[in-house]
Amino acid sequence: MGEALKSQSSRTMSLLSQLEKINLGSVLGEADNARYVTSKILHLVQSQEKTRKEMTSKGSTGIEVILSTLENTKDPQTMLNILNILIEVISVGGGRKANILVAKGGTQILLQLLLTASKDSPPNEELMVLLHTLLAKIGPKDKKIGMKARINGAHNISLNLVKQNLQNHRLILPCLQVLRVYSTSSVNAVSLGKNGVVELMFKIIGPFSKKNTSLMKVALDTLAALLKSKTNARRAVDRGYVQVLLTIYVDWHRHDSRHRYMLIRKGVLQCIKSVTNIKLGRKAFIDANGMKILYNTSQECLAVRTLDPLVNTSSLIMRKCFPKNRLPLPTIKSAFHFQLPVIPASGPVAQLYNLPPDVDDVVDESDDNDDAETESEIETENDDKDQHFKNDDIETDINKLKPRQELGRPLEELKMYERFFPELSEKLQECDLVSKEPKPFIPDANLSGPIVVPTAGEEYSAETKQSTKGVALKESNPVLTEEYNRRPAFLELPKKDSVKDSSLHQQNDQRNLSPSCQCLNQEIVKGLDRMSLQSSAKNDQYYSTACVITKESKTSLTTLACSNPCERVSPCGSSLFEGSSVHLGKLCCTGVDSEDEDSRSSSSGEQVMLEVSDVSPVHDCDLYIEMVKTTKSIPEYSEVAYPDYFGHIPPPFKEPILERLYGVQRTKISQDIERLIHQNDIIDRVVYDLDNLSCLVPEEADVLKFNSKFESGNLRKVIQIRKNEYDLILNSDINSNHYHQWFYFEVSGMKTGIGYRFNIINCEKSNSQFNYGMQPLMYSVQEALNSRPCWTRVGTDICYYKNHFSRSSIAAGGQKGKSYYTITFTVTFQHKDDVCYFAYHYPYTYSTLKMHLQKLESMHNPQQIYFRQDVLCETLAGNSCPLVTITAMPESNYYEHICQFRNRPYVFLSARVHPGETNASWVMKGTLEYLMSNNPSAQCLRESYIFKIIPMLNPDGVINGNHRCSLSGEDLNRQWQNPNPDLHPTIYHAKGLLQYLAAIKRLPLVYCDYHGHSRKKNVFMYGCSIKETMWHTNVNAAACDLMEDPCYRVLPKILSQTAPAFCMGSCSFVVEKSKESTARVVVWREIGVQRSYTMESTLCGCDQGKYKGLQIGTRELEEMGAKFCVGLLRLKRMSSPLEYSLPSSLLDIENELMESSCKVTSPTTYVLDEDEPRFLEEVDYSAESNDDQDTELADNVGDYEATNQEDGLSDSDSTRILLS
């Protein structure tokens, strides 16, 4: 057998050798010999796979010899033999062998042969069939085939063959395949269109027929490719072909009952998809009733899973053709106005102020632009450009990268910050707080009780549990009743600039209620009497009164949905305070559900204890109200949201990342399309509107009521679409016309057992973690009354997709034809007539921060903890920006102890520069509570460092419900290079503190700015490194000799080993040009802090470690804040030469860098100019699947997806450096 194979192999080589000699003209009887030899080779190729492999094996000249013979021979039979040989060779090897043929110049030879053969009259049909068959196979692998065919006129030869042989299906089938390949070049497509190719295709395609289905399929594919040319698409529209295509589609849909011809049906849809890329095509589609036709046919296809490609393509077409709607707003500027003290000379805010008053900024002429995004083809074409832009963002100038310590302000001016560092100058010997002798550290349990430091999951210790509070549920509680009688119906809040005495006067609310309302009040009392916060004697100081709500009304004369006859509350309590009132939102008047009442109480009055292990000792309901009174908002809010008053306890159960159901997005889009098709079914009623204060609250029992007029609230307008479906519009950041993401609003008047759909319709980001398992948050007042005051993840059928509301170029930073995006979710409420709140993430208000800081200050042991709270500055609205100093008091007033106290290194922390990133505040809360705890490690940490903390850099943005900006309308984390003291006071003075420390040679050891990340999972850090930045550019040579201390990697590495939510693999230390004005880069470059970080916490959840597959909660976020502190303590120990030496493995960075091949990219749009890259989980969310790619791209699909995975790490501080 082996001998036979060897013989055949040598036979093939012998025949090829003979053929080569014939080409050289050294053999007599060339034509006959060539015909004989090629026929023998053809026989071997057809019968032996080994021969086919030999022809294209490495080092073989077989293909060159064959092509040379084809080029030189005049004998028709030899040509046919050779074409058959080539077809056999590449038909088995697929794309790789076709590439070999292209590389050897095969395309040019075949096109030249086609030109020559076309001159015969009549042309040799067999030769034409084989030539076109071969060209159709290798064409997709030759990117320049369109240009080559155009140059020698081959494309018109194929077209003419089709025209002249319409009935010869065997000949025109490969011709059409070649025309399709030619049409990938837009120039060719236009040229062919001028020669009548579009009209020709419509002669071939037609109604349902079982004959010639393969020809029909090829003709449709060719037509779809041709119609991608706008010129051809216009020609098709002008000749009425849109209507023809729809008629053909319906005909095939009706007759193909067994779904055998799905590819033909999809081919018709692809033609419609191509022609509707232009405005005229979309109009023709609408006029031909295309929306209804495709809607009805796609609904009929839903039951058959194999028809999903038809449903998805129909969905894409309908979404594209859905008439662009104006966002139903008078202006996209914020509903609230704040006049800036200084108008910036340039930038978005300047443009906003310079807009003529009569300009309509909601829509413009760009909204119907033909160049609007038309699905994936355009995105694919722009891939190379995007990559070029992305790489451009990495800073390559070493001189700019090298930190250059600059004070930036005169030393005399910086002395103004000396008062914020009294720990460096005060004569502590004179303080009574320090004993005269050294003292051991003893946790002072009697003075303040332990502060519960949140640690997630099973890490709670027995001691922690002993110190927690229980919630007692009791039928009658005299203390509670007294508290109820004491609390007035309204809590007054003096308006801005008119703060007067606002002490609480004890009154009996019963006297202030009209008699007809007693029934309502008794219902609430039933619920309230059963809830109290049980506390031990040592914890009494944390809660001076029970955290109980007795507010029934929002405003005087508010109508309540009550099952009892009475429906009105008299305007009671209005004389309690001078000025405007601050009050809680209306309470659900059903009280506690009867089944809960029965199960939680008994006639014997026994208490049912509910252990709540996470009750934070720093939440105080009454103190929160006091804090609200001094908070200044632009809308002058007078209401308090219940969740902020009650507080939040993490739920005792795990909340897994939601698994996305197949087809959910498609279903939602289908329901949106029904709005156009069945317009009479749409209610279209405004039920809430900040722009129209006279908008009436719906009186009907089955219409939800909305509210967002409280601190951090954001909801601008609500439109009822269907009975249980509402469109919600978010408010822009003040002095801005975009940044819609953060939401926080109240809903009431619901019924149980009904799924309510909420659509937030003016989002701007191109994708969201809502597509990857994240759920919004809901807080139920009814549940809070049932002793479960917590935010929980809720919602089903959640998805995020592009909608039909157009964004003006003004709103999109000059980009034309952009659309908004929709977040949609469905909620079924547990309690009738509950009051519920929804939020993008766990709210944390400015008043909450002030309350927490005041509680921490009142609870600490001043003999052991040095805690100081200063006002760094006032914001634009007149709110104070707190600055906190925490360290340990010196052991005694001995000289060496005072020296150790003053020489401790500084750690500088900040958070919440972006108001919508509330998770940053929860992480900061964990840090603050750990630093103030009686944990021995915390004491050790305080003895090691002096902490300077600005827990909220953007109070105004937080208060007014902004997502990203301050009142200046600017992203404060882009102002660190040159902050304006009038427009960016918090940044100006925060930088001033750091400049002062640099001036007195007390640079912080660590600077960290806490952020939230909306598009990636886990917690991770961004840092700064010259070497790593250079490694990701083409300037590697300069970086090789660069010496850099890799200490910046130590803290993230420690956290990856100690904090369950932290992921080292997501960390990046690359410096980008677009981030040069962020806190992280400026503090590193100008101040000279090597360990300068942004710590990003996910808004969604984790995909690694202990919390893999879970959504993140406040417990995990606070734990991260505490673990950060533990990491600092370990950093201290590791960097101390007396105690530990740094493990070499931790700093062995160079090899890891050399092996990494990460790509860094930058922001994609003006609107998305953020501190975050796109997340890894790239999907085509425009449809449920990515099945409408052209077939010639099919071979590359795997590669394309792999590239997406690599490139997904785009934007800001984004290189993935994987550490083992």
Q: Which residues are catalytic?
A: 1096
Residue type, 639: E
Cβ atoms within 10 Å of 357's Cβ, excluding its own: 4
If residue 186 lies in a helix (H) or strand (E), which one and from where to where? Answer: helix 186-194
How many C-alpha atoms does 1157 have within 13 Å on its Cβ side? Answer: 4
Residue 47: which residues within 8 A CB-CB, separation 6 or more? Answer: none
CA 1159 to chain centre: 20
For residue 779, list its beta bridge partners. 791, 837
What the block records as the tokens of 765 is: 């980001």
Q: What is the rounded CA–CA span in Å between residue 15 and residue 492? A: 103
What Rg, from alpha-carbon coordinates, does the chain have?
Answer: 36
How many Å apart are CA 22 and CA 31, to the nearest integer? Answer: 9
Alpha carbons 81 and 1118: distance in angstroms, whole number: 77
The region that residue 483 occupies, defined by phi over 0 for left and psi between -120 and 50 for alpha, beta otherwise, is: alpha
Q: Which residues contact 728 (CB under 8 A, 6 or more apart)?
A: 706, 715, 717, 718, 743, 745, 758, 759, 760, 761
What interhelical angle do 49-56 and 62-72 show, nearest 10? 80
CA dihedral 1212, 1213, 1216, 1220 (to 10 degrees): -160
Contact 88, 41 (CB under 8 A): no
- Interhelix angle 1050-1058/1114-1135, rounded to 10 degrees, is 130
How far apart (Å, rounded) are the C-alpha atoms in residues 157 and 154?
Answer: 5
Residue type, 925: K
DSSP percent split of the chain into helix, strand, coil, nearest 5:
45, 10, 40
> Two tokens at 916?
């919508």
The whole-angstrom distance between residue 871's C-alpha and the CA centroid of its chain comes to 34
Q: Helices (DSSP H) in 839-917: which residue ranges? A: 846-859, 895-902
Spatial separation of the C-alpha atoms in residues 307 and 358, rounded to whole Å: 50
Contact by Cβ (8 Å): 195, 156: yes
Structure tokens at 795: 């919602």
Cα 657 to Cα 332, 524, 794, 1037, distances in angstroms: 33, 36, 11, 45
Q: Give the amino acid at 1204.
A: N
User: CA 418, CA 1000: separation in Å to the nearest integer?
Assistant: 10
Runs of H (alpha helix) within 94-185: 95-103, 106-117, 125-138, 145-152, 154-164, 169-182
- The DSSP line for 934-988 is --HHHHHHHHH-EEEEES-S-HHHHHTT-SS--TTSS-GGG-SSS--TTT-HHHH
Tokens encoding 875 = 């914001």
DSSP β-bridge partners for residue 793: 777
Token pair of 192 as six digits: 């062919």
1068 and 1215 Cβ atoms separated by less than 8 Å: yes
Q: For residue 546, give the amino acid letter.
A: A
CB atoms within 10 A of CB 193: 21
The values of phi and psi at residue 79, to 5°, are: -60, -45
823 phi and psi angles, rounded to 5 deg:
-100, 125
